[in-house]
Amino acid sequence: MIDLKNLTIKKAHEDIKSGKYSAVDLTKAYLEEIKKKNPEINAYLEVFKDAEEQAQAADTRFKAGAATLLTGIPFAIKDNILIKGRRAGSASKILENYHATYDATVIEKLKREGAVFIGRTNMDEFAMGGSTENSAYGVTKNPYDTERVAGGSSGGSAAALAMDGALAALGSDTGGSIRQPASFCGLVGLKATYGAVSRNGVMAMGSSLDQIGPFAKTVTDAEIIFNTIKGNDSLDSTTISDTTYKTKKTDKKLTIGIPKAFLKGDGINKDVLKNFEESIENFKKLGYEIKDVELPNIAYSLPVYYVIMPAEVSSNLSRFDGVRFGLHKDGKDGIDDYFETRGAGFGKEVRRRVLLGTYILSSGYYDAYYNRANALRRVITSDFETAFKTVDIILTPTTPAPAFKIGEKISDPVAMYLEDIFTVTANLTGMPAISIPSGVSGKLPLGIQMTALHGNEALLFKAGKEFLKE
């Protein structure tokens, strides 16, 4: 029996290398867990039939002495990331039966290392939501408490890991979709610097906000995955050069900033606040200096995000017209075909955001909403840049409360949007942010979020490892 609960990428690599078990054994062990747990948890939309074959190829590579750290490591992949020849649908009816015609750059990179793809995971439709309740294929339940959500939108990837249905996973994060489910499921989740990881082959939600990133059980594992998937890519012109990441490692004790004024609201759960205070004490014990920081405009982050994001959503999703791929419904004429197809293929939340975004971008409102939101986005970013002159990391809780009950927020979009209060800023500013497990509220995991200046993932990894004593 492989102890999946305590397994990490490094440990699995050493075990396979020393012949303790094979990559095939490892994949089989995960497939066993999936068989037992997925019918209830609904983390996977599809488990790939050739997973064992992929693991066999990994074993061959081990035997040839050509294995790297990710060879034979079982990955769960969010349903909006393309793997050539396989179904990919962003958990939407409109992409039913769509098969990817190419590999996303991140997938190509993982394939090069010989990673094993176990299956594709559930999500909120087109990554819009914080609970997977917007999936066309049912909700993903939280393995820690099946009456609760696993978070979203990458809830399937998080739950897959938390139920021991994979050793690592990829998600996408436009406003918190990796970090929030990571915190709900007791995992590490990273949203890297905008442009660090190629977006080629991820279905776009908000193109100026989207990043693909890892879910892992340890910061060390998240770092291994990040180092593999990052890098300049000619297929995504917003990617930045690798040299950005060369010089940032440091041995000095870091300074952590706390935006105290932002944490005063009564919307934050008291266990979350208590755990946050304890986490600060832990950092102090580790020798970190703690400082108060001012982020005067941070309260505008959420409204700014909920203007910019739907504007980009409405434009990105206009390509789904049912002409070539997925669902198609006939109408009276060509235009009517679109109405019929999009009306039937998109769920309620997607339609809400497309409508909102179209309104925001329409003439007369463009200046009033979109341009003003963009101006504020710049102001929020410069507030952060100013704060980072005196601190290395800014610390907040990842979410205002632990995992909520299934059904609790689904009929109240604003309550659902408030989930994202701490996470959207990193997407607006383009700065890297990581959520790490920081404790529990009853049986529910809690997480804290650390943000750093562009290109400073190394600081997040260092502080994260020290905090978790890795």
Span from 38-46, 58-66, 110-118, 175-183 in contact with ligand GLN (CB under 6 A): 175-183
Computed on alpha carbons and rounded to an integer, the radius of gyration of the chain in Å comes to: 21
User: CA 417, 122, 213, 25 torsion: positive or negative?
Assistant: positive
Please tell me the chain's helix, strand, coil percentages from 3-state DSSP, rounded to the nearest 5.
Answer: 45, 15, 40
CB of 142 to ligand GLN, least distance (A): 16
Selected from 129, 259, 430, 432, the binder of ligand GLN by CB under 6 A is 129
Q: Are 394 and 292 in contact (CB under 8 A)?
A: no
Which of 193, 153, 194, 151 lies closest to 172, judged by CA?
A: 153
Span from 9-17, 39-47, 67-75, 171-179 in contact with ligand GLN (CB under 6 A): 171-179
Selected from 22, 177, 198, 275, the binder of ligand GLN by CB under 6 A is 177
* Marked catalytic residue, from 37, 78, 141, 217: 78
Phi and psi at residue 269, in whole multiples of 5°?
-60, 140
User: Binding marks (x or -) toward ligand GLN, 77..116, rule CB under 6 A?
Assistant: ----------------------------------------
Q: Are 133 and 124 in contact (CB under 8 A)?
A: yes
Selected from 119, 165, 175, 213, the binder of ligand GLN by CB under 6 A is 175
Between 70 and 229, CB nearer to ligand GLN: 229
User: Binding marks (x or -) toward ligand GLN, 144..163, rule CB under 6 A?
Assistant: ---------x----------
Selected from 130, 143, 397, 447, the binder of ligand GLN by CB under 6 A is 130
CB of 420 to ligand GLN, least distance (A): 5
Between 67 and 309, CB nearer to ligand GLN: 309
Q: What CA–CA distance (Å, rounded) separates 390 from 252?
A: 14
Binding flag, residue 376, ligand GLN (CB under 6 A)? no
Between 286 and 299, CB nearer to ligand GLN: 299
Q: What CA–CA distance (Å, rounded) separates 366 from 50?
A: 49
To the query of whether residue 208 is one of the catalytic residues in this protein, the response is: no
* Marked catalytic residue, from 90, 92, 135, 153: 153
User: Binding marks (x or -) toward ligand GLN, 181..210, rule CB under 6 A?
Assistant: ------------------------x-----
Q: What CA–CA distance (Å, rounded) separates 227 from 242?
A: 10
Binding flag, residue 171, ligand GLN (CB under 6 A)? no
Residue nearest to ligand GLN (CB): 177
Between 27 and 427, CB nearer to ligand GLN: 427
> Any idea what DSSP says for residue 88?
-
Between 296 and 303, CB nearer to ligand GLN: 303
To the query of whether residue 177 is one of the catalytic residues in this protein, the response is: yes
CB of 414 to ligand GLN, least distance (A): 12
Between 64 and 414, CB nearer to ligand GLN: 414
Name the β-bridge partners of 434.
190, 450
The amino acid present at 391, given as its one-letter code, is V
Q: How far is CA 116 from CA 59, 100, 197, 213, in A?
A: 11, 18, 20, 17
Which of 166, 220, 215, 221 lies closest to 191, judged by CA?
A: 215
Query: How far, in whole angstroms, is CA 305 from its chain's centroid?
Result: 16
Phi and psi at residue 256, in whole multiples of 5°?
-110, 130
Residues 412-451 touching ligand GLN, rule: CB under 6 A, are 420
Span from 25-33, 121-129, 222-230, 372-380 in contact with ligand GLN (CB under 6 A): 121-129
With CB under 6 A as the rule, give the number of residues binding ligand GLN. 13
CB of 174 to ligand GLN, least distance (A): 4
Q: What is the dihedral of CA 464, 465, 466, 470, to 10 degrees?
A: 150
Span from 69-77, 98-106, 170-178, 450-458 in contact with ligand GLN (CB under 6 A): 170-178
To the query of whether residue 237 is one of the catalytic residues in this protein, the response is: no
Q: Are 152 and 123 in contact (CB under 8 A)?
A: yes
* Marked catalytic residue, from 172, 177, 198, 301: 177
Q: How far is CA 5 from CA 8, 39, 111, 242, 424, in A?
A: 9, 20, 25, 34, 31
How many residues can be counted in the chain? 470
Q: What CA–CA distance (Å, rounded) separates 14 from 12?
A: 5
Q: Cis link prior to 153 (omega < 30° from 0)?
A: yes
Task: Give the interface with ligand GLN as residue ranges (CB under 6 A).
Answer: 127-130, 153, 173-177, 205, 309, 420
Q: What residues are annotated to the active site?
A: 78, 153, 177
